[in-house]
């Protein structure tokens, strides 16, 4: 695995002429200000090594990647009963689709589309004030990344609070169908802050290691979830982690992954390592354009696809 750094370096060099491809998310004003010409990638392997390239030490808004950590927390709280409120099927619709939610009577297709993630935030909020639930998530992410310096970007959270009209609609829909227990403002307060988690590729790769290592972070030795739960979260990431681009991502990359509109992707190579990539320009379905290309190159060069090398 000593040539892993060389593989990262070659991917970076080959993508340099393409930096800026895709379109930065602009429906959250604070994200529209991000320089699109950035690219970082980091790999944390189960032997505890972290390798990186490019802008891997620059914090970015992890946005929907936070849904993986929130799902882990919610499953820890309520276990399998979570699935009474959220499905486990790919949605085949946009990340913020309203139509499907109405047709399916307030039960979101999966925990990684916005509606599903909002329901998951509602579960984590139970028994807490919103501030405490946000604190719980931040402590959890710092714990799995083994890094106390991780923060939430309040400007991003505020920006989304002021413009998150579709998410407000989704939450109201679910509340009307009895699938939210708490006031919409409280649930969205948690959701917008979780999306505003600010992390570097290096931190994110380390934070995802428990999913690559049967639920235990091999660097700290902390047991985060059971091997079975890690396997199941990976299965959901593979089938639902890229919205209606999930099939395409599985086809090209072949790894469980979760994208965010900040341009980040967390991918998991089970038994091998956790990979974070960041390039702010998005493709049409809201996933990092060059991030996905970089992961495709990595999977091709390492043979890490879960479907075989």
| 63 touching ligand GLU, by CB under 6 A | yes
Restricted to residues 247-306, the positions that interact with ligand GLU (CB under 6 A) are 260-261, 286
In the set 67, 190, 198, 259, the catalytic residue is: 67
* Residue 234 three-state SS: helix
Compute the distance between CA of residue 47 and CA of residue 63 in angstroms, rounded to an integer.
28
CA-nearest of 137, 133, 231 to 189 is: 133
Min dist. Cβ of residue 61 to ligand GLU (A): 8
Strand blocks (E) in the chain: 40-45, 50-54, 60-61, 151-152, 197-199, 257-259, 264-269, 273-278
CA–CA dist 80, 35 (Å, integer): 41
Minimum distance of ligand GLU from residue 79's CB (angstroms): 26
Q: Which residues are annotated as a binding site?
A: 64, 114, 160, 167, 191, 243, 261
Q: Any catalytic annotation for residue 251?
A: no
Question: How many C-beta neighbours within 10 Å does residue 139 have?
Answer: 13
Cβ-based neighbours of 200, under 8 Å, separated by 6 or more: 40, 42, 56, 57, 58, 59, 60
Q: Rank residues 64 and 216 by Cβ distance to ligand GLU and give the closer one.
A: 64
Whole-angstrom distance, CA of residue 79 vs CA of residue 88: 14
Phi, psi angle pair for 52, to nearest 5° = -150, 170
Question: Measured from the CB of residue 55, what is the shortest distance to ligand GLU in angstroms?
Answer: 19
> Would you say 196 or 225 has its CB closer to ligand GLU?
196
Longest dimension (CA), the chain: 55
Distance of CA 272 to the CA centre of its chain: 19
- Check residue 114 for interaction with ligand GLU (CB under 6 A): yes
261 is catalytic: yes
Asked if 116 is part of the footprint of ligand GLU (rule: CB under 6 A), the reply reads no
What is the SS3 assignment for 208? coil
The 137-176 site mask, x for binding ligand GLU (CB under 6 A), equals -----------------------x------x---------
Min dist. Cβ of residue 160 to ligand GLU (A): 6
Q: Which residues are annotated as a binding site for substrate?
A: 64, 114, 160, 167, 191, 243, 261
Is 191 in the active site?
yes
CA distance 157 to 190: 9
- Asked about 23 being catalytic, the answer comes back as no
Site for ligand GLU in 176-195 (CB under 6 A): 195
As measured in angstroms, the least distance from the Cβ of 185 to ligand GLU is: 15
Binder of ligand GLU out of 39, 60, 95, 210 (CB under 6 A): 95
The reply to whether 10 belongs to the active site is no
91 in contact with ligand GLU (CB under 6 A): no
Binding site for ligand GLU (CB under 6 A): 63-64, 95-96, 114, 160, 167, 195, 260-261, 286
Active site residues: 64, 67, 191, 243, 261
């Amino acid at each position: 695995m000593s040539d892993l750094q060389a593989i990262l370096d070659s991917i970076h060099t080959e993508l340099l002429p393409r930096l800026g491809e895709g379109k930065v998310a602009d429906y959250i004003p604070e994200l529209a200000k991000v320089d699109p010409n950035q690219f970082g990638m980091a790999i944390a392997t189960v032997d505890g090594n972290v390798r990186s390239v490019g802008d891997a030490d620059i914090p970015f808004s992890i946005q929907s990647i936070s849904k993986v950590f929130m799902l882990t927390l919610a499953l820890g709280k309520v276990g399998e009963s979570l699935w009474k409120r959220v499905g486990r099927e790919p949605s085949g619709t946009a990340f913020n689709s309203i139509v499907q939610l109405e047709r399916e009577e307030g039960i979101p297709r999966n925990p990684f589309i916005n509606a599903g993630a909002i329901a998951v935030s509602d579960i984590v909020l139970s028994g807490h004030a919103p501030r405490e639930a946000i604190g719980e998530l931040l402590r959890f992410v710092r714990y799995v990344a083994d890094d106390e310096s991780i923060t939430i970007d309040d400007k991003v959270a505020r920006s989304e609070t002021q413009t998150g009209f579709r998410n407000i609609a989704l939450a109201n829909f679910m509340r009307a169908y009895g699938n939210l227990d708490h006031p919409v403002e409280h649930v969205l307060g948690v959701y917008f802050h979780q999306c505003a988690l600010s992390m570097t590729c290096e931190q994110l790769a380390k934070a995802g290691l428990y999913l690559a290592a049967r639920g235990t972070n091999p660097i700290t030795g902390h047991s985060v979830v059971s091997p079975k739960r890690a396997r199941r979260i990976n299965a959901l990431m593979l089938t639902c982690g890229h919205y209606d681009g999930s099939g395409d991502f599985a086809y090209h990359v072949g790894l469980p992954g979760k994208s965010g509109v900040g341009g980040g992707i967390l991918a998991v190579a089970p038994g091998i390592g956790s990979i974070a990539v960041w390039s702010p320009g998005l493709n049409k379905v809201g996933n990092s354009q060059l991030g996905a290309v970089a992961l495709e190159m990595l999977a091709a060069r390492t043979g890490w696809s879960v479907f075989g090398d």
